[in-house]
Amino acid sequence: MNTELIVASLSGVVALASVAYSSQANRKNSLLEDELERQKVERARMLERQDVMSRVRDPLLWAAFDFQSRLYNIAAQGFLRVHFVQARDQQYAVRSTLYVLAEYLGWVEILRRRIFFLDLGNQESNRQIVRLFTRISNVLNDDAYPDRHFRLFRSDQRAIGELVIRGDNDADSCIGYAEFCARLESDSGFAAWFASLSDSVAELASLPGRHPRLVDLQVALMDLIDFLDPQQERFPQKSRFRLNRC
């Protein structure tokens, strides 16, 4: 074999090795880029999740607490009977009760719009909070209770939630109590959604007993509060009362 042939052969081997190495390097670079992009997308999702929860967790928690607190006061402390003595107090009792219900439904609807499944970091947390929301909705909707006070169909729950949302998709919040009362007085279409609930509140003021639906609803809301505030940073244990049917 002459020198030229040897050189040519070596050159070919080097060229093939160079092509193979380059191909392998390009493949590794491509895989690395894909992995970095995947991590970037995952991080963006995590930050979005944290941003949603940081903005929504506290107002939802407060809304749930205010709602359960009113239910507790009605069922255990005679709130409605006390406030139905004078006409002005009657109006406050009815409107404020309607508002705490509506505000809770409003924040649930805001969450529904923002994310299809409330992602708290793992699947079990997802399933648990969906179960809690569903349980509360079922208690409001259920027709198996002995009376229809505070019964609210699922679609009506969503409609009321929609009605009290204020702002665009980037800055959703719920209307305040003053605006809620003003709309009840000035907007007949708005007020119509609350007519049957208003009647329920007025009727409950004259009925004795704890009312199973209100009891189950208050307990379900407390379970949601325990889930959203497990370390009791917002509401200490001493403020977490639960009703019972006895």
Residue 228 confidence class, pLDDT cut points 50, 70, 90: very high
The pair of three-digit structure tokens given for residue 134, joined into one six-digit string: 């569903």
The pair of three-digit structure tokens given for residue 204, joined into one six-digit string: 């409950």
pLDDT tens digit sequence for 19-39? 667 777 777 777 767 666 666
Residue 83 has pLDDT above 50, yes or no: yes
Task: Name 174's bridge partners.
Answer: 165
Residue 124 has pLDDT above 90, yes or no: no
Residue 158 has pLDDT above 60, yes or no: yes
pLDDT (0 to 100) of residue 47? 45
pLDDT (0 to 100) of residue 116? 54
Taken in order 74, 79, 83, 85, the sign of the CA dihedral is positive
Q: Cα–Cα distances in Å, from 183 out to 18, 29, 192, 200, 222?
A: 76, 61, 11, 20, 30
The model's pTM is 0.76
